[in-house]
Structure 1
Amino acid sequence: MALAGLYRRTLPSPPAIDFASLDGKQLFAEALQSGNVGGFFKLISYFQTQSEPAYCGLASLAMVLNALAIDPGRKWKGPWRWFDESMLDCCEPLEKIKAEGTTFGQVICLAQCAGAKVEAFRTAQSTINDFRNHVIKCTNSEDCHLITSYHRKIFKQTGSGHFSPIGAYHAGSDMVLILDVARFKYPPHWVPVSLLWQAMDTIDAATGYRRGYMLISRPQEAPSLLYTLNCRQESWLSTAKYFVDDVPLLLQSEDLKTVPQVLSLLFQHLPANAGDFVAWIAEVRRREEDGSSLSVEEKGRLAIKERVLQEVRETKLFKFVTEWSFSGGSCCRNEPSVCDKDSLPEIAASVYCQGAELLNSRDGANQELCCRGTSIESLRAKEDLPMTLVSGKVVSGGREQLLDVLVPISLANSSSSGSGLHNSTEIHPTTNDLLTVLLLALPYHTWLGIKDERLLAKIQDFFSTENLPDILQEEVLHLRRQLQFLRRCKDKEADDYLVLASLT
């Protein structure tokens, strides 16, 4: 009887030593005694096998994020929030990753999007001694974990590029324990640091750059609560380049006298689809049986998001953006994709489909989803303040699923909402909010090319983060770090983009 497929591989030893072998156990016992397994127990508690042959980067990252107890802020299955490979899709569609795998830069991007702090080094920007010191640092701590990107051929293993975390370090033999996420293929194994460095110091044919390693830890700063930058759209790199590199040059080349002139100049030169570059985060949940109840946790998250939204609308800049959007120079004339996406039912319809894919752990490939019957209701959730719940039905393959979108709103008068809802006093996040936080997130040096000193002083006052309320300041600074990082994290950029200390 013929059996199809392969059942594991024999681990080439040497150079590797099987973790479960007598020698492997002895190495671990000695490493444990010397204190170089501090991160092992957290990692082993969340050790997982990659679910697809090309998901080694996703599995390594999900394992590390869970070991660090970073909250994904969205549900995985049932009521549980948990990092799974299927949730790591903010930089590339999962179907593309399944076919092509992930690059070094994409894993960095995914870690950043997931709310982690990342320090990344290609071998061209590091030395073997630096690497060894970082290994020692992370294997002695529960708060930092190291993921390596290496070529299997150096270890006489089958396959090519691969990602896996480091679980322990043995000082006497100068060996590290690789927790190989392709557990269907090879078990965890010890390899010499010198050989792992050689395996990392290889060229990735997909990018033309050397591989390397990254240190993943929890950020000291709070992750984004309401706003985030979107790097899934094809034009995200050109949009990031526009705001970081091109805007300062535009401001130097024009004789500007007023704030509206500055805004008009910026919006008139926006790249195509720039309106998709910044987004607000909507929480999706399965419809409860009673149809309306919100948990204390959900109420709390919504209340914080509404506080952020209200603080955005109390800035001087928001008032200028709103006034400008209603003026004859409105961006809607030249860039409808920026301004025509404020209809709550339309927003919800798009979010439903994304939420259905996430809640069902699907990657969206060859799946037909149809949204039907949205309805909007206001709930009394906290201190008699209304909260908005948008309910709808997603149909897939003849099956229906009821979903809710929890929408933050702020109490605004009709003259300042800027959303087109002139008679409404409860306004969800709109284009004017998105443009305001994006402009606030631009680096300080963006405005220094303005020639008129009085205008420069006014602009610096408008765009200063120092006087913002604490929670909004954290939100804006997080977006600023995202913007600077995204500008540099594309694999085709210069190698020195990985000098990330100033970005984290």
Structure 2
Amino acid sequence: MAVAGLYRRILPSPPAIEFASAEGKQLFSEALRNGTMEGFFKLISYFQTQSEPAYCGLASLSMVLNALAIDPGRKWKGPWRWFDESMLDCCEPLEKIKAEGITFGKVACLAHCAGAKVEALRTSQSTIDDFRKHVIKCTSSEDCHVITSYNRKVFNQTGTGHFSPIGGYHAGRDMALILDVARFKYPPHWIPLSLLWEAMESMDVLTGHPRGFMLISKLQRAPSLLYTLSCRHDSWVSTAKYLIDDVPILLKAEGLKAVPDVLSLILRSLLSRAGDFINWVVEVRLREEDGSAVSQEEKGRLAVKEVVMQQVRGTELFKYVTDWLSSIRSCCTIAASLVDKDSLSKIAASVCCQGAVLLSGKPGEYKGFCCRATRGECLKANRNGTVTVISGTVVSGDDEQEVDMLVPVSPSKSSCCGSGPSSCAVVHPVSDDVLTVLLLALPADTWVGIKDENLLAEIHNIVSTERLPDVLQEEVLHLRRQLHFLKRCKDGDADDFVLSSCG
């Protein structure tokens, strides 16, 4: 029986000029001489075709992340750490994207969660002249790339909403090179920049917003050394709203006389969801054939995480949080449950199972995986310390795989005996640490409503980022930027979480 199918599309020209045509080659040559093709070579080295009709945003982003040499911090397949569409699932389930596409706001969220520096601008927030300046700047450098969200119909192409990176710019003709990730459909092509702007100005009828562009570059440092905010869990929108909008109003209440009063006011409503909103970052990997040897690179990352953890525990705020949690754990069901969640054996079983799912290349398919056993080892890291590795045997049907979890610990209190993770006297990050860091990451103006001037001065003293050690200060400021970004998604892009198609 005959089966209908499509083999590519004829590129409508004009307005587009095919990259591989004689005219397209001439444009490339002239732009190269003028210095506005510098970003092209990195992008073309990692150019990929979207693996699903609705994965244009994911393909564009993974291509740019790899071109910027951003380390995902976790393995893709085998021993390799690499960005692939399957790795970009933190802001929306892949199955949902596959069925319905993804929006401008969610692609920006993914870029941020993946560790990139992101500036996302809709056409309503910018001008064509500013857009041109951004394109010229990024195409003249290897350090920044532009991803555009546009409507294909403006180019007389089939389909509607689409994402692709810009690979170059020709100043004389004012044309941008679109590296179309739907290569099964259209080849790379040059488009007049004014027409591209018009295509970005078109309204996405499902979100009620115009499209736009995003500038993706590499952060000066690792995005999250130990702690990170999550937009994966269903409660993140309400949690972000509570922290940014509600807490400052609550702090205007009468009767706040001491720091524990302030903590109680904030944390009692936060405890049930904080663990889903801020987490400590655990590195997972397939267990190496030669055992649990830890590379120098891995030891280095763990050492930095341990520094962050020690600095958190050295803050005055940590002592207040610990004392307050201890006072309520015996009488508060939610707080008491935090003790159980902090158990390293339970964390290990959960994380090893999650890691096995991620390493299998089937994110989202957690149901068939079960962590049968975990065990801990304390390995020599250097002359003065050890590294804690928790290994789990994860079962899926008839398949078994060994997954390692590299745990940041307190070196001064680490010792190892016995065979299970609970028998290693490690001090790993717990709820006290997580809540302390989250409070430190709140915007500085959160506290200004406190009416007692002495209490306000004391709070400012213990939450001031200027008083923090350098490593922890950068960690806290990064979390604050994350929180600001999530607030932008919540406020400015609320309707953008309705998914639009990508064709």
**Shorter-chain TM-score above 0.5:** yes
- Alpha-carbon offset, residue 489 of structure 1: 1.4
Deviation at 1:353, TM superposition (A): 2.4
Give the direction of change, closer, same or farther, for the CA distance of 1:438–1:366 in structure 2 (3 Å limit).
closer
Does the C-alpha gap of structure 1 residues 495 and 137 become closer, same or farther in structure 2, counting only changes over 3 Å?
A: farther
Alpha carbons 2:235, 2:276 under 8 Å: kept: no
Q: In the alignment, which residue of structure 2 is the partner of 1:71?
A: 71
What code does the residue aligned with 2:297 have? Answer: E
**Hey, what does 2:446 align to over in structure 1?**
446
Residue 457 of structure 1 and its aligned partner are, at CA, apart by 1.1
Report the equivalent of 2:140: 140
CA, structure 1 residues 2+200, in 2 after alignment: closer, same or farther (shift >3 Å)?
same
Structure 1-normalised TM-score? Answer: 0.92
- Quick one: distance in 2 between partners of 1:326 and 1:271? 13
Q: State the distance in 1 between where 2:31 and 2:367 align.
A: 48
Contact 1:331–1:338 (8 Å) recurs in 2? no
Amino acid at match of 1:427: V
- Give the drift of 1:218: 1.2
- State the match for 1:230 in structure 2: 230
- What is the number of equivalent residue pairs in this alignment? 490
AA aligned opposite 2:293:
S
Once the two structures are TM-superposed, the CA of residue 275 in structure 1 deviates from its matched residue by 2.4
What are the residue-to-residue correspondences of 1:263-282 with 2, within 5 Å? 263-270=263-270, 272-282=272-282
> Would you say 1:346 and 2:341 are equivalent positions?
no
Q: For 2:253 and 2:407, how far apart are their aligned partners in 1? A: 41
- Amino acid in the other structure paired with 2:71: D
Partners of 1:195 and 1:337 in 2: CA distance: 57
Q: Which residue identity is paired with 1:450? A: I
Whether contact under 8 Å (2:208, 2:495) holds in the other structure is no
Instruction: Please report how far the alpha carbon of residue 187 of structure 1 lies from its aligned counterpart in structure 2 after TM superposition.
Output: 0.5
The 2-side partners of 1:18 and 1:367 are apart by: 46
Unpaired runs of 5+ in structure 2? 415-420, 497-503
Tell me the residue number matched to 2:479: 479
Q: Which amino acid aligns with 1:165?
A: P
How is 1:109-188 mapped onto 2 (pairs within 5 angstroms)?
109-188=109-188
Query: What's the CA shift for 1:377?
Result: 2.3
Question: Match of 1:208?
Answer: 208
Give matches, 1:386-425, under 5 Å: 386-411=386-411, 425=425
Asked whether the 8 Å contact 1:332–1:340 carries over to 2, the reply is no
Measured in 1, the distance between the counterparts of 2:454 and 2:20 equals: 70
Cα deviation digits, residues 421-455 of structure 1 (max 9, x gap): 99985211111110010001011111111111111
Q: Deviations over 1:47-78 (max 9, x none)?
A: 11111111111111111111111111111222
Counterpart for residue 364 of structure 2: 364
Please name the residue that 1:192 is paired with.
192
Secondary structure of the residue aligned to 2:252 is: helix
Are 1:83 and 2:83 matched, yes or no? yes
Amino-acid identity (%):
69
2-structure distance, mates of 1:114, 1:324: 34
Structure 2 distance, partners of 1:216, 1:38, is 15
* Contact 1:231 1:277 (8 Å CA) reproduced: yes
Q: Which residue of 1 aligns with 2:456?
A: 456
DSSP 3-state at the match of 1:167? strand
Provide, for residues 329-365 of structure 1, a one-character-per-residue CA deviation record: whole Å limited to 9, x for no partner: 7794345665541111211222122211221222334
Distance (Å, rounded) in 2 between the aligned partners of 1:97 and 1:18: 29
Instruction: Measure how far apart 1:399 and its partner are.
Output: 0.7
Q: Where does the alignment leave 5 or more consecutive residues of structure 1 unmatched?
A: 415-420, 497-504
Deviation, 1:395, is 1.3
How far apart, CA to CA, are the structure 1 residues paired with 2:469 and 2:2?
68
- Paired residue type of 2:398: G
Aligned-partner residue type, residue 210 of structure 1 = P
Separation in structure 1 between the aligned mates of residue 153 and residue 230 of structure 2, nearest angstrom = 36
Amino acid at match of 1:166: I
Taking the TM superposition and a 5 Å limit, the aligned residue runs for 1:18-33 are: 18-33=18-33
Please name the residue that 1:297 is paired with: 297
Cα distance change on mapping 1:78 and 1:391 into 2, 3 Å: same
- The corresponding residue for 1:501 is none
Counterpart of 1:108, as a letter, is: A
Amino acid at match of 1:214: M
**CA pair 9-493 structure 1, distance change in 2 beyond 3 A:** closer
More off after superposition, 77-86 vs 485-494 = 485-494
Return 454-463 or 381-390, whichever deviates more: 381-390
* Alpha carbons 1:273, 1:337 under 8 Å: kept: no
Indicate the larger mover: 365-374 or 438-447. 365-374
Q: TM-score, normalised by structure 2?
A: 0.93
| Residue 7 of structure 1: how far off its partner (Å) | 1.6
Counterpart code for 2:267 = F
